[in-house]
Amino acid sequence: MVDKKLEERNIPGMMNRNARFAEVEHAENVGATMKRIMSYFAKEKGMVVSMLAIVVFGTLCGVYAPSLQSRAIDIIAGKSGGNLLAALAFMLAVYLLYSAGQLLQGLLSAKLSQRIIRRMREELFGKIIDLPIRYLDTHSHGDVMSRMTNDIENISTTVSQSLPSLFSGVLTIIGTVAIMLWYCWQLALLSCATVILTLIATKVLSKKVRKYSRKRQQLIGQLNGTVEEMVSGYRTVVAYNHQDETTREFCETSDSLTKAGIRTDVISGVMGPIMNCIGNIGFVIIAAFGGYFAITGLISVGVISAFIVYAKQFSKPINELAQVYGQLQTAVAGAERVFLVLDETSEDMTGNALQTEEQAAVRFENVNFSYEPGHPIIRNFSLTVPSGKKVALVGSTGSGKTTVVNLLMRFYDIDSGTIRINGQDLSEMSRDSLRKNVAIVLQDTVLFADTIRNNLRYANESASDAQLEEAVRMSRCEDMLKNLPGGFDARLTSGGENISQGQRQLLAIARAFVADPKILILDEATSNVDTRTEKAIQNAMQTIMRSRTSIVIAHRLSTIRDSDLIVVMDKGQIVESGSHRELLAQKGKYYELYMTQYAGFAT
């Protein structure tokens, strides 16, 4: 009952503190992907060098500052000579420089991240726009969108946060260990013992948290799926009295989610106290052995205080690096997914321009086509659509009617045969030139979140207000516009969801009229309007079709009775053709279709 895709979505409500334990993706070719990512950094050399310089400078200040604290304490204890105020002032200056370095590091990394991501995002969107229809038909739209959003965002987060943490963490560990060994190698080795405990605790706890976190994420997906199904199908749920069963399913999933959530939060909540406990054990070790070494004269009291700071400074980047490693893997995997799209072959827009003549004749010659090799959809299809004539394609579902239109629009290229417009081979014609002369109205209407005026001008940006008004009048949209606040300036929501499906189809027809095409394709263009409006639109279409080559696909045979030629298709082939009366007289496939719809009515 729950959509499996919903279970795989990233859930925004997941606790941030559990992010470090989330399952990470792995790239198949890390080396090649990293090399390609570096090419984006190479275009920002100045900023990268500046950021790295600031990271190095800030890390050095952070590593050097505790030694100044040690010296100040030794001056206070009388173990070292010098001016206390000068030492404190110098220490304050170093800490301020360290803070300034951290601030600049954050600003530069954020700026660098956004520059790189902007370039990558623009390249990806440009590629998606140029992809052939076949790619988008054979790939999940949600997956394509995920690459634009989730994968790009993972890369952005890694560049802005993880990379600076990686560089500064590595430098901090190296610098801290070096100074600790220089001060007292014996105490340094004792301090590093707590690191082993930290790594063991992190590995054990993260494994358990990852297990329950994964289960919780799956359950949240199920819960969201149940809610989405209930809301979108509310009328069906109520109509069949399934409220109690739906509530029971929701409660079962909710209870399981609560248990998984409690386990995840409890185990992840224990993480902080355990790490603090291990850190405190480290401080006790330093204090105990440091005191002993101080008594024996091996080190000073100031060195003990510095070791306490260094021990904390040493353990923090180790935990961060473990988290950064997972983020880097996820980012590289996301980048690989983005690059896979970028490496796809764009739709070929080259070719000759369609010769601009007053009318356009279309001819299909022995056309064969299959979406998948070995499974032909169109077989030996030959058809002539005379200039200025109206040809209708009818047939049962799956007979290949819409595929013929897809081939004419060059959404797909044919396997063999030829399609010509005014004698020009379609395969040698540029898609841009072709589509400027063809307008199509689909059964599934697509409108954009914009004004009605701009949606109509989508087909012809230079269309005047007079042209828009004429198109609206011909498509019978006048009454609809009068009832909408703002008329032409009324704003549609995404997909035109704030108007009915029939109204959306009327606007799509008006948009096709605005395009003023040489060839007009109507694919079930009036399937969502009432019979009276459909008749009015048909009458209007007679005017616009007089000077245009028209191809009409319809299941309602009443809409194509007046066609100059009716072509009956079955299994990708033409089985009958002729006028309405001729086909009825033959009492073949068309007759069967017609009688199925109008049995008992006079013809």
Q: Are 455 and 487 in contact (CB under 8 A)?
A: no
Q: How far is CA 133 from CA 149, 369, 371, in A?
A: 21, 15, 12
Lowest average pLDDT, out of 170-174, 328-332, 348-352, 542-546, goes to: 542-546
Give the model confidence (pLDDT) of 102-159 as tens digits.
899 888 888 888 888 888 889 889 888 888 888 888 877 767 887 888 788 878 887 7
Tell whether the model's pLDDT for residue 10 goes beyond 70: no
pLDDT over 50 at 372, yes or no? yes
pLDDT of residue 450: 87
- Taking 80 as the threshold, does the pLDDT of residue 415 lie above it? yes
Beta bridge partners of 419: 364
Hey, which bits of 493-578 come out as E strands?
519-523, 549-553, 565-570, 573-578
Token output for 2: 């729950």
| 229 vs 10, more confident | 229
Residues 549, 386: contact at Cβ < 8 Å? yes
Q: What per-residue confidence (pLDDT) applies to 150?
A: 76
DSSP letters for 175-244: HHHHHHHHHHHHHHHHHHHHHHHHHHHHHHHHHHHHHHHHHHHHHHHHHHHHHHHHHHTHHHHHHTT-HH
Task: Of 204-213, 314-323, 436-445, 459-468, give the range with the top mean pLDDT.
Answer: 459-468
> Which of 30-39, 152-161, 186-195 has the weakest average pLDDT?
186-195
Who has greater pLDDT, 393 or 441? 393
Secondary structure letter of residue 393 according to DSSP: E
Q: What angle do CA 10, 16, 22 make, to 5 degrees?
A: 55
The per-residue pLDDT for 418 is 93
Give the pLDDT mean for 360-388: 90
CB 54 within 8 A of CB 257: no
Residue 312 scores a pLDDT above 50: yes
Which has the closest alpha carbon to 220: 1, 21, 10, 24?
10
368/593 Cα distance (integer angstroms): 25
Name residue 384's beta-bridge partners. 363
* Mean pLDDT within 382-395: 89
> Tell me, what amino acid is at 339?
F
Q: What is the mean pLDDT of residues 57-85?
A: 79
Rounded CA separation 97/75 (Å)? 23
Mean pLDDT of 343-370: 84
- Check pLDDT > 50 for residue 9: no
pLDDT category of residue 423 using cuts at 50, 70 and 90: confident
**If DSSP codes are grouped into helix, strand and coil, which group holds residue 359?**
coil
Q: What is the mean pLDDT of the chain?
A: 80
Dihedral of the CA atoms 182, 185, 188, 190 (nearest 10)?
-170
Structure tokens at 82: 């010098």
Mean pLDDT for the stretch of residues 223-243: 78
Q: What is the largest CA-CA distance in the chain?
A: 119
pLDDT of residue 61: 87
CA distances from 371 to 132, 138, 145 (A): 13, 10, 24
Burial (CB count within 10 angstroms: exposed 0-12, middle 13-18, buried 19+), residue 109: buried
Distance between CA atoms of 79 and 429, rounded to whole angstroms? 89
- Residue 56: how many CB atoms within 10 A of its CB? 15
Judge whether 371 and 400 are in contact, CB under 8 Å.
no
From CA 280, how far away is CA 298, in angstroms rounded?
A: 23
Q: Are 354 and 368 in contact (CB under 8 A)?
A: no
Q: Buried b / exposed e across 176-214, counting CB within 10 Å, b at 16+?
A: bbebbeebbeebbebbbebbebbeebbeebbebbbbbbe
Rounded alpha-carbon distances, angstroms, from residue 31 to 121, 132, 154, 204, 358: 22, 29, 18, 30, 57
CA 152 to chain centre: 8
- Tokens standing for 426? 């379609």
Give helix 301-342 / helix 243-295 axis angle, nearest 10°.
Answer: 140
List pLDDT tens digits, range 520-566.
888 877 766 677 767 766 766 666 677 788 898 887 787 788 888 99
Q: Measured between alpha carbons, how far is 111 from 117 in angstroms, rounded to an integer?
A: 10
Radius of gyration of the chain from Cα atoms? 35
Task: For the full predicted model, state whether its pTM sits above 0.75.
Answer: no
Per-residue model confidence as pLDDT tens digits over 199-215: 777 777 777 776 776 67
Question: What Cα–Cα distance (Å) separates residue 459 from each residue in 435, 440, 516, 521?
Answer: 10, 10, 9, 14
Per-residue pLDDT at 599: 59
CA distance 365 to 350: 23
- Token duo for residue 278: 């291990």
What was the pLDDT predicted at 151? 81
Q: Residue 144: beta bridge partners?
A: none
Residue type, 573: Q
Query: What count of other Cβ atoms lies within 10 Å of the Cβ of residue 170?
Result: 15
- Both tokens assigned to 379: 């077989």
Cα–Cα distance, 459 to 293 (Å, whole number): 84
Query: Could you tell me if 393 and 404 are in contact, meaning their C-beta atoms sit under 8 angstroms apart?
Result: yes
The pLDDT value recorded for residue 221 is 67
Average pLDDT over residues 62-72: 80
pLDDT at 567: 92
Decide if pLDDT at 308 tops 80.
no
Gap between the Cα atoms of 400 and 570, Å rounded: 7
Count of other CB atoms within 10 angstroms of residue 297:
7
- The reported pLDDT for the residue numbered 4 is 37
CA–CA separation, 316 and 43 (whole Å): 32
